[in-house]
């Protein structure tokens, strides 16, 4: 009633060809909370989003497995030249650090790059996720990446627990960022993080396009892919986007995740995760991604030593800059 647009008005206008059942597979509480949403809050301006719209976004996954003490964190912050630092949530299901807490720490330390924690639905009920989302909004994160999350790794005696799927997680984020909590408390929000979802280029195009359509309906504004390690997977991205076009007129900013370096020892691990590998070099993959006309690249560097990680990150960044400009 205050003149602000509903956050889902523009999305709903584009989904005439989407099956009704795809829209209403929601958590019952979220349907009630939506009635309290008065309008969307202002998306937070950032260098990352500006460059995403130009097709030149560059994000780097923070080396949480390599840092051992505060000096390591400060060292990485002082050296990395990226639009956005992403903080993963327990990659491969092995415990590391809490991404929202660590992201808050990065914001306090400062730095040139924005911060995007991965917030997952695994092992968090709706109340826990809502508090993390509220924290992300309050401490001025530039974006959040909302994904299902990796199951516990081998040798970790932990049972995964899920209360929300990834689409409902995205829906909850848009509700909280609009100023509504699960307790039905309503508050004013000055600005909010951008909401990103995950894309799996290794699924069948029809299946993944359907999943993406549902995430877009829920409120995703852009997507980050799982790791791409072969030209076949890059072609899979194109096929999924073509299939997505059958559901509606979606504009889908996309950031493609690339691993560096892809050495022989890591290929069996990627294959076990359902990620195809080939003989392509990193440079060849970058050229293939560039031809897709995507929003940018998300770089994941493999190293558990901070010094080596910084060296490899600089090598990969120069290659990316040489192709994307």
Total domain count for the chain? Answer: 1
Query: Is residue 113 in some structural domain?
Result: yes
Query: Is residue 37 in some structural domain?
Result: yes
Query: Is residue 4 in some structural domain?
Result: no
Query: Is residue 13 in some structural domain?
Result: yes
CB-based contacts of 138: which residues, under 8 Å, 6+ apart?
none
Q: Scanning the structure block, which residue is given the tokens 């809490």? A: 98
Query: Is residue 3 in some structural domain?
Result: no
Note the Cα 16 to chain centre separation in Å.
27
Domain around 149: 9-324
User: Which tens digits make up the pLDDT trace of 124-180?
Assistant: 889 999 999 999 999 999 999 999 876 666 566 777 777 889 999 999 999 999 999
CATH number at residue 313: 3.20.20.220
Which pLDDT score, from 0 to 100, does residue 5 have?
A: 54
| Burial class of residue 262 (count of CB atoms within 10 Å of its CB; 0-12, 13-18, 19+) | buried
Which pLDDT score, from 0 to 100, does residue 191 have?
A: 94
Q: List residues bridging with 60 in a β-sheet.
A: 85, 299
Report helix, strand or coil for 103.
helix
Query: Is residue 205 in some structural domain?
Result: yes
Q: What does the buried/exposed string (b/e) look like for 42-81 if buried means 16 or more CB atoms within 10 Å of the residue's CB? A: ebbebbbbebbeebbbbbbbbbbbbbeeeebbebbbeebe
Both tokens of 322, joined, read 């040489």
* Residue in 206, 284, 302 with CA at minimum distance from that of residue 247: 206
User: Which tens digits make up the pLDDT trace of 224-281?
Assistant: 999 999 999 999 999 999 999 988 888 889 999 999 998 888 888 788 778 888 888 9
State in Å, rounded, how far the first CA of the chain is from the last one: 45
Instruction: Enter the pTM of the model.
Output: 0.89
Instruction: Give how far Cα 136 sits from Cα of 22, 107, 125, 203, Å.
Output: 28, 10, 17, 30
């Amino acid at each position: 009633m205050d003149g602000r647009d509903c956050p889902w008005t523009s999305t709903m206008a584009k989904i005439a060809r989407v099956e009704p059942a795809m829209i209403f597979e929601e958590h019952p509480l979220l349907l009630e909370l939506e009635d309290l949403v008065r309008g969307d809050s202002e998306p937070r301006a950032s260098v990352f989003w500006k460059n995403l719209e130009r097709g030149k976004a560059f994000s780097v996954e923070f080396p949480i497995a390599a840092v051992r003490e505060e000096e390591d964190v400060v060292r990485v912050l002082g050296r990395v030249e990226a639009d956005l630092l992403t903080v993963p949530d327990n990659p491969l299901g092995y415990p590391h650090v809490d991404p929202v807490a660590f992201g808050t720490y990065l914001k306090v330390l400062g730095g040139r790059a924005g911060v995007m924690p991965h917030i997952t639905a695994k092992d968090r009920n709706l109340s826990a996720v809502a508090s993390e989302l509220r924290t992300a909004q309050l401490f001025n994160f530039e974006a959040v990446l909302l994904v299902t999350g990796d199951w516990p790794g081998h040798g970790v005696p932990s049972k995964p627990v899920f209360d929300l799927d990834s689409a409902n997680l995205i829906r909850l984020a848009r509700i909280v960022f609009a100023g509504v909590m699960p307790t039905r408390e309503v508050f004013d929000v000055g600005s909010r993080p951008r909401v990103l979802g995950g894309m799996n280029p290794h699924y069948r195009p029809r299946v993944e396009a359907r999943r993406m359509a549902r995430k877009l309906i829920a409120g995703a504004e852009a997507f980050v892919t799982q790791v791409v390690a072969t030209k076949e997977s890059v072609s899979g991205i194109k096929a999924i986007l073509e299939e997505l076009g059958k559901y509606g007129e979606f504009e889908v900013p996309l950031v493609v995740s690339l691993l560096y370096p892809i050495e022989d020892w890591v290929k069996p691990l990627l294959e076990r995760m359902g990620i195809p590998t080939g003989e392509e070099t990193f440079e060849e993959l970058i050229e293939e991604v560039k031809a897709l006309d995507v929003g940018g690249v998300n770089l994941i560097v493999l190293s558990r030593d901070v010094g080596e990680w910084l060296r490899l990150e600089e090598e990969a960044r120069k290659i990316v800059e040489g192709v994307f400009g």
